[in-house]
Amino acid sequence: MSEMWGDAVDASTISGGGATPQPRGPQTVVRGPRAERAAVQGEGEPYLNLRDLTVAFPTADGVVKAVQGLTYSLELGKTLAVVGESGSGKSVSSMAIMGLHDPKSTRMTGSIRLGGREIVGLPPEELRHVRGKASAMIFQDPQSSLHPFYKVGDQIVEAYQAHNNVSKRVARKRAADMLGRVGIPNPSRRLDDFPHQFSGGMRQRVMIAMALVNDPKLLIADEPTTALDVTVQAQILDLISDLQQDFGSAVLFITHDLGVVAEIADDVLVMYGGRAVEHGTVKDILGSPLHPYTWGLLESIPAVSGESTRLHPIPGTPPSLLNLPTGCSFHPRCEFRKRVPDDLCTKELPDLVARTDQAGRVSRCHLLHPDLIFADEILPRLP
């Protein structure tokens, strides 16, 4: 049966290789939802902690550097939105957290700590155990997670029984409860329906029910609403927010849609060409962004005036990950690179550095006063 959970994926797909960090420090098992929420393992450590994560795929054409030096963290109860154009490494980095890359074709280095445990380089069996309970992923297309030939109830029951030693009757009760939780009417009866008997929005709800059946502490949602119409999209976003409140989970939300970001995120990570280029609170990133690429994303939100919709896309195309531009990867598309002396933008990769005194507010750009440029030049032209 095809499933989306870590436990359903062949455990051998976890990648290791490269400089694999060892688990650090003593691990304290804390019991009870409150205690888990507060501490888990590793004192004060955020639930999800990526450090210098690199994911590369050797291919016949060369090495695809899909993710480079990615560092961020996410606490329980918070939502981090990951934004960026197609091919910026959003899904690859998230799949690394789920351990879904094929080790035979993937080079992965750096550290991913989940609930205080290092998962990069973890043996497949251990990874399977950690992942199944700790994290779950929902995808844009429910068809990729729900097997068309099995009743949805049986699929949820199987996902639950994989991690809980309970009878089928108990698991079915749990499955019906979950369907009810995500707003599916007559849940007990609908357990015996097949995926095609649900509408697109309802299938998405079934997938969310299946994702949450094991109370994962981390929910990764990869463009979960893109295929849905606006009304259903809003309902699903509300649902994810409500469930997050109830379960106290951390949510990693991948999207192209900055409108969705404004609605759902606490923090935002902007990725370009496999690297983080800006990170901060949703208020900072949408209200006073510091990176020219983020400015471009904001400017490319469609402005609806009267009958017409104006679009200001970022000129050019995303870079090839086989052969990234020298210096700042964004330089071929950046209208501000001439403001930086000595052609530095084409020569030197800027570090991701703190630009204000706010913790976690970082940006990767050589401009000295991006805040002034944003206020004087970008803000007036935003839609």
Ligand X SMILES: Nc1ncnc2c1ncn2[C@@H]1O[C@H](COP(=O)(O)OP(=O)(O)OP(=O)(O)O)[C@@H](O)[C@H]1O
* Three-state secondary-structure class, residue 39: coil
Give the interface segment with Mg ion, choosing from 87-95, 140-148, 226-234, 348-356 (CB under 5 A).
87-95
Cβ proximity to ligand X, 25 vs 62, nearer residue:
62
Of residues 270, 6, 1, the one with CA closest to residue 138: 6
* Three-state secondary-structure class, residue 113: strand
Least distance in angstroms from the C-beta of 262 to ligand SF4: 23
Length of the chain: 383
CA distance 139 to 210: 12
Query: Which residues does residue 62 pair with via DSSP β-bridges, in sequence order?
Result: 59
Report how many residues bind Mg ion under the rule CB under 5 A. Answer: 1
CA distance 84 to 271: 5
Cβ proximity to ligand X, 86 vs 308, nearer residue:
86
CA distance 105 to 109: 14
Whole-number CA gyration radius for the chain: 21
Of residues 368, 380, 358, the one with CA closest to residue 298: 380
Site for ligand SF4 in 32-61 (CB under 6 A): none
Read off the tokens for 179.
């369907």
Selection from ligand X, ligand SF4, Mg ion, none that 330 binds (CB < 5 to 8 A by kind) is: ligand SF4
Least distance in angstroms from the C-beta of 106 to ligand X: 7
Least distance in angstroms from the C-beta of 84 to ligand X: 6
Cβ proximity to ligand SF4, 201 vs 273, nearer residue:
273
Q: Does 334 bind ligand SF4 (CB under 6 A)?
A: yes
Q: Does 345 bind ligand SF4 (CB under 6 A)?
A: yes
Q: Does 350 bind ligand SF4 (CB under 6 A)?
A: yes
C-alpha distances in Å from residue 135, one per residue of 24, 44, 114: 21, 19, 9
User: 218, exposed or middle or buried, with CB in 10 Å at 0-12, 13-18, 19+?
Assistant: buried
Report how many residues bind ligand SF4 under the rule CB under 6 A. Answer: 13
Cβ proximity to ligand X, 15 vs 49, nearer residue:
15
Strands 275-281 and 267-272: antiparallel
Binding residues for ligand X, rule: CB under 6 A, are: 57, 59, 64, 66, 84, 86-92, 105, 321
Give the interface segment with ligand SF4, choosing from 7-15, 72-80, 158-166, 364-372 (CB under 6 A).
364-372
Cβ proximity to ligand SF4, 98 vs 277, nearer residue:
277
Cβ proximity to ligand X, 57 vs 295, nearer residue:
57
Cβ proximity to ligand SF4, 37 vs 366, nearer residue:
366
Q: Does 91 bind Mg ion (CB under 5 A)?
A: yes
> Which amino acid, residue 256?
H
DSSP for 332-356, written as a single string: GG-TTGGGSGGGHHHH-PPP-EE-S
Give the interface segment with ligand SF4, choosing from 3-11, 64-72, 120-128, 336-344 (CB under 6 A).
336-344
Select the residue interacting with ligand SF4 from 352, 366, 374, 378 (CB under 6 A): 366
CA distance 315 to 226: 23
Q: Does 331 bind ligand SF4 (CB under 6 A)?
A: yes
Q: Are 14 and 118 in contact (CB under 8 A)?
A: no
Strands 79-83 and 250-254: parallel
Strands 48-59 and 62-74: antiparallel
Selection from ligand SF4, Mg ion, ligand X, none that 88 binds (CB < 5 to 8 A by kind) is: ligand X
Q: Does 319 bind ligand SF4 (CB under 6 A)?
A: no
User: Under the rule (CB under 6 A), what is the footprint of ligand SF4?
Assistant: 292, 328, 330-331, 334, 336-337, 340, 345, 350, 365-367
User: Under the rule (CB under 5 A), what is the footprint of Mg ion?
Assistant: 91
